[in-house]
Amino acid sequence: MATFDVIVVGAGIVGAAIARETARAGLRTAVVEEKVPGSGITAAGMGHLVVMDDSPAQLALSTFSRGLWLQERDKLPASIEFEERGTLWVAADDEEMREVHTKRATYEKAGVASEVLDTKGVAEAEPNLRPGLAGGLRVPQDAVVYPPAAAAHFLSDAQHRGAKLVQGRAVAAGKGEVTLSNGTKVQAERIVLAAGSDISLLPQLPIQKRKGHLLITDRYPGFAHHQLVELGYLKSAHKLTDESVAFNIQPRQTGQMLIGSSRQFGKTDPASEPRILRLMLERAIEYMPKLAALSAIRAWTGFRASTEDKLPLIGPAEAITEDASLWLAAGFEGLGITNAPGAARLLVDQLLGHKSMLDVTPFLPARLAGSPAAKKEAHV
């Protein structure tokens, strides 16, 4: 039986980033992954590295994490397609323009550079947006990556530092032991569950699946320059009950336009839904009428792992599981690509008993131990 200091279950971007940090810290690390590393939600995601200000904790984590991405940008392999495109938050009217100013002030306090654009500025920055928009906020250091390649890079870095990849499905995890479906057992003092939206190892996790659709076009280099997001995006990302769509376009290095985004609770079928794709496209065309002339070549879906307070679970799972060997790095919703490097630091600091650069309290799993999802299963 193989014994390690840490087993990470899941080699999506979060698990791979954690394995890299544990291996860096000199911990003997195993990564258990059932499929191709990075092929889960990570492969379905958009890869927008973005500072989000929907709560002070999210602002702190996404600013910290984006900073870590930027620190290593020159060392990232070309396959990751890292591009510092910047985000342009688009304001349709005067009310949204007021939000632009509030957002800029919030970013300034957090040390995040941004610039307010007026009607003319937005039209010059993105000539394919519809004319007459009120303005926008450009956040120049937000970036774009190709997520599965980023996960593969983090994992390969971890392996170079001695981490071992164990291929197989974990069917049980607890009390310092992970059991694979073929009966193999792997042991470690700490087990980190980074299994994305798959909660089968711990059904009491307070995580819900939130389905998202994306669609990619053929190649149209120069059609858009920034990651373009409507200011209403945060409102729609925060609606916990409804399905919602928002204008969100990402120009890829290949010249393709990646078009998002939708959010739906209560859906488990991964099939693309023509009705949702239509709503998404209608919204996108409202902002960029010329999109209607582009050909889309593929659509897909993915399931974000959502928590009730929209923050990830990073830390010991003991308050939920009564098992001191189990740790969590899950519930990253629509920000796991951005937040993986920062979350990995916060988790490994906790494993090592080090003080973190950020206050970890808002991310500790214990905060949701009393939530209805966690309680329901604990009492079954």
Ligand X SMILES: Cc1cc2nc3c(=O)[nH]c(=O)nc-3n(C[C@H](O)[C@H](O)[C@H](O)COP(=O)(O)OP(=O)(O)OC[C@H]3O[C@@H](n4cnc5c(N)ncnc54)[C@H](O)[C@@H]3O)c2cc1C
80 binds ligand X (CB under 6 A): no
Provide CB contacts within 8 A for 183, sequence distance 6+: none
Q: Which of 122, 146, 123 is nearest to 136 (CA)?
A: 122
Residues 302, 308, 314, 320, Cα dihedral to 10°: -110
Whichever of 129 and 194 has its CB closer to ligand X, that residue is 194
Residue 266 CB, shortest distance to ligand X, in Å, is 15
Taking the complex as a whole, the smallest distance from the CB of residue 93 to ligand X amounts, in Å, to: 25
Which residues are bridge partners to 354 per DSSP? none
Per-residue binding letters, 273-302, with ligand X (x by CB under 6 A):
-----------------------------x
Its sign, for the CA torsion 311, 316, 320, 325, is positive
Using CB under 6 A as the binding rule, whether residue 28 contacts ligand X is answered as: no
Neighbours of 209 (CB within 10 A): 21
Are the beta carbons of 231 and 100 closer than 8 angstroms?
yes
Shortest spacing between CB 228 and ligand X, in angstroms: 12
Nearer to ligand X, 97 or 248 (CB): 248
Question: Which of 198, 243, 273, 349 touches ligand X (CB under 6 A)?
Answer: 198
User: Cβ closer to ligand X: 335 or 348?
Assistant: 335
Site for ligand X in 36-55 (CB under 6 A): 39-42, 44-48
Minimum distance, C-beta of residue 46 to ligand X, in the bound complex (Å)? 3
The nearest distance, CB 113 to ligand X, in angstroms, is 19
- Measured CA to CA in angstroms, residue 204 lies from 134, 303, 321 at distances of 46, 18, 8
Stretch that binds ligand X, among 35-43, 66-74, 218-226, 268-276 (CB under 6 A): 35-43
Does residue 15 interact with ligand X by CB under 6 A? yes
* Sign, CA torsion 269/271/275/278: positive
Q: Which is nearer to ligand X, 7 or 134 (CB)?
A: 7
Which range binds ligand X by CB under 6 A, 6-14, 88-96, 120-128, 315-323? 6-14
Cβ–Cβ < 8 Å for 344, 21: yes
- Note whether 207 binds ligand X by CB under 6 A: no
Q: Which of 8, 9, 60, 158 contacts ligand X by CB under 6 A?
A: 9
- Closest approach of ligand X to the CB of residue 96, in Å: 21
- Measured between alpha carbons, how far is 101 from 190 in angstroms, rounded to an integer? 45
| Helix axis angle, 336-352 to 13-24, nearest 10° | 30
Pairing of strands 48-49, 143-144: antiparallel
Give the torsion sign (CA, 38, 44, 49, 52): negative
- Is 338 an interacting residue with respect to ligand X (CB under 6 A)? yes
Provide the binding-site residues for ligand X, judged by CB under 6 A: 9-15, 32-35, 39-42, 44-48, 169-170, 194-196, 198, 201, 212, 214, 261, 302, 304, 332, 334-338
